[in-house]
Amino acid sequence: MNIVCANCFTTNHIPDDKDHNKGKCGKCQQGVYSAKPVELTSNNFYAFIERNDLPVVVDFWASWCGPCQNMAPVFSKVSQDSPTLLFAKVNTEQIQQIAAKANIRSLPTLVFFHKGEEIDRISGGLNEIQMKQWLGQSLQKISK
């Protein structure tokens, strides 16, 4: 399995018989997996969503967006409970070109990527149950 280090964004290969949650980066020697959402920038966005074998859920948000602020703790909590997914955040105020390329029209928007391909998206604030249901539906789409 390939997993992009949540710290230095180097791609690491984790053998199939090893737990990706415990893998260390060959470059920075820190844990490659983060249960916390990773802040993405224009420099690492594409590497993170394209090079990971695990699905990546990206929260497109802005500081002025009330529903974004309300959903942020839910997104963080769900990320802690989902060890087979990677979670990332994109501040659309700072990375406008990525948000434009991703065709983000409302905030917050969650986009579910697998190996660089968009599998699903949902806009609007979600509670924990709604987010977990949506993630389950998105995972079913890649297991077909």
Distance between alpha carbon 92 and the CA centroid of its chain, in Å?
Answer: 15
Spot the catalytic one: 5, 8, 25, 68: 68
Q: Return d(Cα 72, Cα 89) in angstroms, integer.
A: 9
Tokens of 139: 């995972």
Q: Return d(Cα 53, Cα 20) in angstroms, integer.
A: 11
Active site residue 65: yes
Q: What are the C-alpha distances in Å from 40 to residues 63, 95, 128, 136?
A: 15, 9, 23, 24
Spot the catalytic one: 5, 8, 25, 65: 65
Active site residue 25: no
Residues marked active site are found at 65, 68
